[in-house]
Amino acid sequence: MSLEIQVAPTPNPNALKFMCNTDIKKDGKSSFKDPYRVHDIPLAKELFDLRGVDQLHFFENVVTVTKFTFEPWESLEPKVMEVMKKLVPSHDPDFIDPTQKKKIDRSTLSPELQQIEEILDRRIRPGLQGDGGDLAVEGYEKNILTIKYQGACGTCPSSSMGTLEAIRGILKDEYDPEIEVYIAPDA
């Protein structure tokens, strides 16, 4: 099967999705914020070597590339395509990302957090994942939920306002009118 790659925009003007007809990450997702965290993943290493690449997000058959604002897509997009055409055929979609959190057994979560996760899975995550990003719950205490954006969502201008307000609204409507939602600071 020959490699096919389609490019699609995201709501973040500094992020594009490169969708392949083959797997990029079979299990889970991996977000890389700097080249020092890519370990032994040649595709990620070489993409970070391109001038202007800020972040990478691997999920299913998609590589979302987030760029620094100074680099125009007109010069970066063809370079990304070149790297992907060269390395995706030999890329291992079963790679283990040591920085990736292990899947949480949700049965061990509190009933409240299980309900919140179910709402996020049903109402929020599909849209974020479709746009090359995602979110992770960082904590829930005293009716305060902290989340962390991943992939293209992490630097999207709308994530700190519009998307966050949508998440708050949905959780207030479907879970608890008193819930507060905040973005966790970067560690």
Share of the chain above pLDDT 90, in %: 58
Give yes or no for residue 183 having a pLDDT over 80: yes
Strands lying side by side in the sheet with 62-67: 5-9, 15-20, 62-67, 53-60, 25-32
What are the pLDDT digits (tens) for 39-76? 789 999 999 999 999 999 999 999 999 999 899 999 99
Fold category of 5-90 in CATH: Ribosomal Protein S8; Chain: A, domain 1 (3.30.1370)
| pLDDT at res. 99 | 62
| pLDDT at res. 92 | 94
How far apart are alpha carbons 2 and 146 in whole angstroms? 42
What are the pLDDT digits (tens) for 88-145? 999 999 998 766 655 667 788 899 999 999 999 888 888 888 777 788 899 999 999 9
Give yes or no for residue 36 having a pLDDT over 90: no
What are the pLDDT digits (tens) for 8-24? 998 889 999 999 999 99
| pLDDT at res. 152 | 76
| pLDDT at res. 173 | 93
The answer to whether the CB of 152 falls within 8 A of the CB of 12 is: yes
Give yes or no for residue 162 having a pLDDT over 90: no
Distance between the two ends of the chain, CA-based, in angstroms? Answer: 42
Domains of the chain, by residue range, sit at 5-90, 106-183
The answer to whether the CB of 1 falls within 8 A of the CB of 21 is: yes
Written in H, E and C, the secondary structure of the chain is: CCCCEEEEECCCCCEEEEEECCCCEEEEEEEECCHHHCCCCHHHHHHHCCCCEEEEEEEECEEEEEECCCCCHHHHHHHHHHHHHHHHHHCCCCCCCCCCCCCCCHHHCCHHHHHHHHHHHHHHHHHHHHCCEEEEEEEEECCEEEEEEEEHHHHCCCHHHHHHHHHHHHHHHHCCCCCEEEECCCC
Count the residues in the chain.
187
Domain range 106-183, CATH class: alpha beta
| pLDDT at res. 161 | 75
Give yes or no for residue 25 having a pLDDT over 90: yes
When the pLDDT of each residue in the chain is averaged and rounded to a whole number, the result is 88
